[in-house]
């Protein structure tokens, strides 16, 4: 445990509309351009995934994920309150995103 921790305000939520995989993402920043609300900014470290700066402005259109050229680099991440359910018709088993 660190002895000193920063004092930070509460963060805006939902706060993580996507999850980047830094192993696959090459920091091309196309997702930044495809976002109509400017959720992201480029990472100061070249080649790294963008920084999610305005997550609460996201409207979950999915364009950043849909148009990404590197499968797996960016994954859609629904807010907890909005994850959908389904039921297997034969077994009745209920599942959720």
Partner 1 sequence: MTTWQDYYKEEGRAPAWPYPIKYEQEQEIETDILIIGGGIAGCWAAISAARQGLRVALVEKGDTVRSGAGGPGCDHWCNVPANPLSNVDPDEWAEHMASVPYSNGIGIQIQCREDWDTLQEMELIGGKIRDTKDEYVGAIGRDEKTRLMLSPRYGVANSYLPAPKSPPIFKSNPDRKRNNVVLRIWGTSFKPALKRECKRLGVKIFDRVMGTSLLTENGVQGARVIGATGINNRTGEFMIFKSKATILSTAGSGGMWIIDTEVGGLCYMQSRTKTGDGMVMGWKAGAALTLLEASSLHSIGGGYKHKWYTGAGDASYENVPLVDANGKRLPYPIQGWEDAGAMAPPAAVVEAIREGIRKGEYALPFYGDFPGMSDVERRATWRLMLSEESTVKIIVDTFNKAGYDESKDLLQSYKFLEGNAPPQWRDPGRGGLVVDWNLKTSLDGLYAAGGQMFSPQDHSFCASTGRYAGRKASAYVKEISQGKISREQIEREKARVYAPVRRTAGMDWRELHAGIARTMQWYCAEYKTDLLLNMALDNLRKIEEESVPLLYALDPHKLMRGLEDLSLLTNAQIVLHASLARKASSIPLGFQRIDFPALDPPEWNKFLTIKLENDRVKNEELPVGFWGNMKQQYEAHNKDYAGVYKK
Residues of the shown chain interacting with partner 1 in the complex, contacts defined by CB under 8 A: 6, 8, 11-16, 18-20, 22, 33-38, 41-44, 48-63, 65-67, 76, 78-79, 81-90, 95, 97
49 exposure class (CB count in 10 Å sphere: 0-12, 13-18, 19+):
buried
Question: Shortest distance, CB of residue 11 to partner 1, whole angstroms?
Answer: 6
- Rank residues 3 and 89 by Cβ distance to partner 1 and give the closer one: 89
Q: How far is CA 28 from the centre of its chain?
A: 16
Separation CA 34–CA 41 (nearest Å)? 12
Joined tokens for residue 46: 């070249």
CB of 52 to partner 1, least distance (A): 5
Q: How far is the CB of 50 from partner 1 (least distance, A)?
A: 8
């Amino acid at each position: 445990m660190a002895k000193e921790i920063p004092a930070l305000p509460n963060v805006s939520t939902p706060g993580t509309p996507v999850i980047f995989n830094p192993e696959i993402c090459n920091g091309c920043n196309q997702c930044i351009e495809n976002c109509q609300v400017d959720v992201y900014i480029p990472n100061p470290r070249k080649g790294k995934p963008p920084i999610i700066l305005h997550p609460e402005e996201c409207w979950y259109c999915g364009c950043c994920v849909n148009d990404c050229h590197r499968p797996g680099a960016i994954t859609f991440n629904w807010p907890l309150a909005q994850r959908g359910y389904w039921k297997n018709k034969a077994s009745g088993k209920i599942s959720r995103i």
